Every structure is written in structure tokens, then in C-alpha cells.
Amino acid sequence: MTIRYSLVLFLFLSMPLAAQSPAPSSDAAATWNALLSPVMDPERSAQVDHLVIQRDRAKITLQNGTIRFARPANGVVFAAAFRGTGLLEMEPPNPIEARQLELFTGKDTLHLEFTEATFSFSDDLFEDVARRVQWSAADSAAEFLYADRQRQREDWGAAYLPRLFKSVMSSDRERTAFFLADLKTRDDWVELAFDAMEQEEVRVGQWTNVGPVQILDVWMSFAQLPD
């Protein structure tokens, strides 16, 4: 595991990052380590009640519970963990995506309840939530949730950590914006991703066992709505 992370870090430090001036390697290494081993901030925890997070067609409602954010990396708050009750609602953009969704889930729209969630992001999620909550005592139950889910995804071969690193190091966070919601539903964890650097920015799916490996079943993938 350490060898793989070191190799990824070496590759990222060796190649130019989009929309950014070169940063000292020590800064990049410190940022990478902060992303790799996130530390939750005891002063950035809040009780939420029907707090809505909108990403394109996807609506995430934190109905009741506690959200807690991590300490920043390179000045960017990049992670959060939630425990409580929540709801993901999403309408497919066209009949093709609706049929694809129905193939995997048996339904042509998403209406999924969840009890835990982690968020990895470089966009304005923290600033948006901070404007709408009052900070309170930290939820110790969320201390290891984010790190555990990140480790699980990396073990499956997901490339979210390097992608988050690229965006957190960028000087143009809007152009390189990244958002990943990992939601624990009744059946299993479901992922919702928004990646501004992809041609199809919006994706939702679920990791599935295929023999000895895990693959991501993509339920829907499409371009974001025009502004």
C-alpha cells in the first residue's frame, strides 16, 4: 500500500498541474499527506436539519444528523463525514440514462435514503454549509468514517485521491472542481461524483464484486446542465 501511494505521489509531483504555478515539492508533499491521512476538525462539527446539497440534477438532503469537516490541506477544506438520516434524489437527463438506471436498480429515478455519508471535494461545499449552520461540539462517531471509506475505495483501485490532490493544488478551483459523495444506503454504498474536468461531469454508481476484484457499476453518466 505504501509503495503504491508513493508511486502515485511521485508521478503527480513529476508532472505539471493544470491551471497552477509550480509549487515547492515540500508543499505538495504536505498536501498529499494531509489528503492521505485526513484529520477531522473538532471545531467544525454541526447539527443539520434538512440541509440541501445540490449538484446539477442531484439533490442530497441531510435530513437530520451531524456533519463534521476535516482540517484543510493547502488552505482548502476537502473532506466531511455525516451520520444521521439523508436522502438522495435524482432524475435522469434523458430516456437512455433512465433505461440504464432501471437496468441496474429496477427504477427509472433515484430516491435513496442513507444513514452515513462521506464527502470529498474541492468546490465550495464547506463555505456553503458554513453559512447555514452553527458549529457545535464534535461528533466523535464520525472521527474515522471518512478515513475508513477512503481506504476502502483506494483498496478497490479508485483514483479519487490523486484527482482530489490535483484540484486542491490548482489555482483555478472552479475549472478543476471535484465533488464525491459516498452514501451508505440500505443495500450498500452509492457514489455520486461531479468532476468539472470530465466531458460527462456527472456520474452515479456503485462498486460491485466481480470475482476477486471490485468494479464500479455506472448507473448514469452525463454532461451537466448548462448554466
pLDDT digits (tens, 9 = 90+) for 137-181: 776 667 789 999 999 999 999 999 999 999 999 999 899 999 999
Report yes or no on 195 lying in a domain: yes
Q: Name which of 1-10, 96-105, 161-170, 192-201 the model is least confident about.
A: 1-10
Report yes or no on 218 lying in a domain: yes
Total of domains in the chain: 1
Report yes or no on 16 lying in a domain: yes
Report yes or no on 158 lying in a domain: yes
Mean pLDDT of 60-84: 96
Task: Give the separation between CA 73 and CA 32, rounded to whole angstroms.
Answer: 8
Mean pLDDT of 36-44: 92
- Specify the amino acid at residue 83: R
Report yes or no on 227 lying in a domain: no
Q: In terms of residue numbers, what domain contains 127?
A: 2-222
The torsion angles phi and psi of 197, rounded to 5 degrees, stand at -95, 0
- 90-127: per-residue pLDDT in tens? 999 999 999 999 999 999 999 999 999 999 999 999 99
- Is the Cα dihedral 48, 124, 181, 154 positive or negative? negative
Ramachandran sector of residue 65 (left: φ over 0; alpha: ψ -120 to 50; beta: rest)? left
